[in-house]
């Protein structure tokens, strides 16, 4: 089976595709993210997504936190997609080509989980400031620009506190990313074995990218369900009423049901987000001469 040569240029292209995929999509859905965060922190803040967006528009806060979102998630995409490709090849080299194919779901899981550890470490400081800006209230107001908000946070809490949410961030993002990559790979594989049964190369670029988007959207629905409780916890940890509280203390207060606040909004957000991420990523890859992602037609690593 032929494929792309996995050299430094290949990984660099995947990293650039990841920067674009995550940075652009997360920035585009900032209004949805602000509604979700405010509802997670302030119960009953809005009765619906539409009402929430209307309130943000009236307040001039529709794009609140866009800059740390753009930078933070661009860095996350760099780590998530780029190191996923690297770790897949590392483990393939360890277990061999035959075992890598036989146990590919395990390989997808391990590679994506390891990549996300790196990705979240890069994201964390920007996510901290973004959430602080987005859940700002009259009682605990934060500047609406990144640098003043960053200076306020560091001045009050210290630089190390920028990483306080890293454990729940890992708790949210690592399961999310494993599901995101494994479900995507599996769904693409099913599409090309059960629905589009001709060799992938016989389908147009547009058809392949359509499969990419649909597979990504379906994977995103699973992602939202798996990661939502930890996402709620990240928001709660940054809320004024829970300042300095640990995960167990917050859970004791909000209960199991409280972990699922804002789920419908997040399913819409994450489904669209994940579908677009994979579409942008594959659009970039195919534009620079690489194969589209996913399934058993994944590229073969370069043999040294």
CB 286 within 8 Å of CB 53: no
Verdict on whether the full-model pTM lies above 0.95: no
Instruction: Per-residue pLDDT tens, the chain, 304 aa: give them.
Output: 346 789 999 999 999 999 999 999 999 989 988 887 787 777 778 878 888 889 888 887 888 899 999 999 999 999 999 999 999 999 999 999 999 989 999 999 999 999 999 999 999 999 999 988 988 766 677 888 999 999 999 999 999 999 999 998 898 889 889 989 999 999 999 998 888 888 888 888 889 999 999 999 999 888 888 878 887 887 787 677 787 787 888 888 888 888 888 788 788 878 888 899 999 999 999 999 998 888 654 333 344 4
| 178 phi, psi to nearest 5 deg | -60, -45
Among the listed residues 62, 35, 45, 84, the one whose alpha carbon sits nearest the alpha carbon of residue 278:
84
Cβ contacts of 230 within 8 Å, gap of 6 or more: 168, 169, 171, 172, 175
Rounded Cα distance, 304 and 298, in Å: 19
Which tokens go with 90?
């590392």
Domain ranges of the chain: 8-297
- CATH code given to domain 8-297: 1.50.40.10
Helix residue spans in 163-262 (DSSP H):
166-190, 205-237, 247-258
């Amino acid at each position: 089976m032929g494929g792309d040569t996995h050299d430094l240029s290949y990984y660099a292209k995947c990293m650039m595709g990841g920067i674009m995929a995550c940075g652009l999509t997360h920035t585009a859905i900032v209004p949805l993210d602000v509604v979700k965060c405010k509802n997670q922190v302030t119960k009953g803040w809005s009765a619906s997504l539409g009402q929430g967006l209307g309130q943000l528009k009236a307040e001039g806060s529709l794009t609140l936190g866009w800059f740390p979102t753009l930078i933070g998630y661009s860095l996350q995409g760099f780590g998530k997609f780029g190191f996923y490709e690297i770790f897949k090849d590392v483990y393939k080299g360890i277990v061999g080509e035959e075992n890598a194919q036989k146990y590919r779901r395990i390989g997808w899981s391990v590679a994506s989980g390891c990549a996300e550890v790196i990705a979240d470490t890069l994201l964390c400081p920007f996510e901290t400031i973004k959430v602080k800006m987005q859940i700002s209230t009259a009682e605990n107001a934060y500047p609406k620009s990144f640098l003043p908000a960053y200076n306020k946070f560091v001045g009050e809490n210290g630089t190390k506190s920028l990483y306080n949410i890293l454990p729940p961030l890992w708790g949210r993002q690592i399961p999310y990313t494993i599901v995101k990559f494994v479900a995507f790979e599996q769904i693409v594989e099913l599409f090309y074995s059960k629905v589009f049964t001709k060799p992938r190369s016989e389908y147009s670029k547009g058809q392949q990218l359509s499969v990419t988007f649909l597979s990504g959207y379906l994977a995103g629905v699973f992602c939202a369900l798996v990661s939502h409780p930890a996402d709620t916890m990240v928001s709660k940890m940054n809320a004024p009423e829970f300042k300095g509280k640990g995960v167990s203390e917050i859970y004791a207060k909000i209960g199991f049901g409280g972990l699922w606040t804002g789920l419908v909004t997040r399913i819409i957000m994450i489904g669209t987000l994940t579908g677009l991420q994979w579409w942008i990523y594959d659009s970039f890859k195919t534009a620079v001469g690489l194969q589209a992602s996913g399934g058993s037609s994944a590229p073969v690593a370069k043999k040294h």
